[in-house]
Amino acid sequence: MDTSTEAETERVVFVTEDGVPTGETGPKLASHHADTRLHLAFSCYVLRRSDNALLITQRALHKKVWPGVWTNSVCGHPAPAEALETAVRRRASYELGLPTLEDLECVLPTYRYRTPPFQGIVENEFCPVFAAWTDVDPQPNPEEVGGWRWISWADYTQWITDPDTDASYWARDQFAQLKDKKPFSAL
């Protein structure tokens, strides 16, 4: 698969502050810059059913936005008119080689963030957050993922709250809201 062509043709959906699509879209890569417009995205945390470990991933070093940074399992943008759940499953299959996610559920439906600049790029997303389960190890796409590991929630809690770790802005920001929500509060 020619991933550069796919990245060049993907479009982001611009939204209002409440996450309502404006009817406008923009090319994914060109839409991310120092003054990125608010657009629709998602984050997903994949847990391993057998031991409740969390899958964290390192973004590939050549990615335009936040390259080499460790983050939650999978992030992405729904295509125009694509349901968020469908987009999560599509990106988990494409990025992680996980064709099946079980018990996919939206745990933070109105999460929204804007990052400080990172290598000249600002993320600005209305980004519902999902949790899902699997018992399959990922087979990541090297165009998207530079590394991965399973980590216990207790170890993740220590790691994500350590200011010296190379965690993504959004994973740190989401943690404050996720830690008290199921399924994370029960781990």
Q: Tell me: is residue 32 an annotated ligand-binding position.
A: yes
Annotation says 106 is catalytic? no
Residue 6: the pLDDT is 55
Q: Tell me: is residue 77 an annotated ligand-binding position.
A: yes
Task: Fill in the amino acid letter for 154.
Answer: A
Q: Tell me: is residue 24 an annotated ligand-binding position.
A: no
Residue 64: the pLDDT is 86
CATH code of domain 3-18+38-175: 3.90.79.10
CA terminus-to-terminus distance, the chain: 38
Annotation says 44 is catalytic? no
Residue 7: the pLDDT is 57
* Catalytic entry in 44, 85, 125, 127: 125
Averaged in consecutive runs of 10 residues, what is the pLDDT profile of the chain (187 residues)? 55 96 94 94 97 97 92 97 97 96 98 94 96 97 97 97 95 96 93
Token digits for 99? 């064709």
Q: Tell me: is residue 82 an annotated ligand-binding position.
A: no
Q: What's the predicted TM-score (pTM) here?
A: 0.93
Residue 65: the pLDDT is 86
Q: Tell me: is residue 95 an annotated ligand-binding position.
A: yes
* Catalytic entry in 44, 75, 127, 144: 75
Residue 8: the pLDDT is 59
Residue 1: the pLDDT is 37
- Alpha-carbon distance values, 173 to 3, 65, 81 (Å): 29, 17, 27
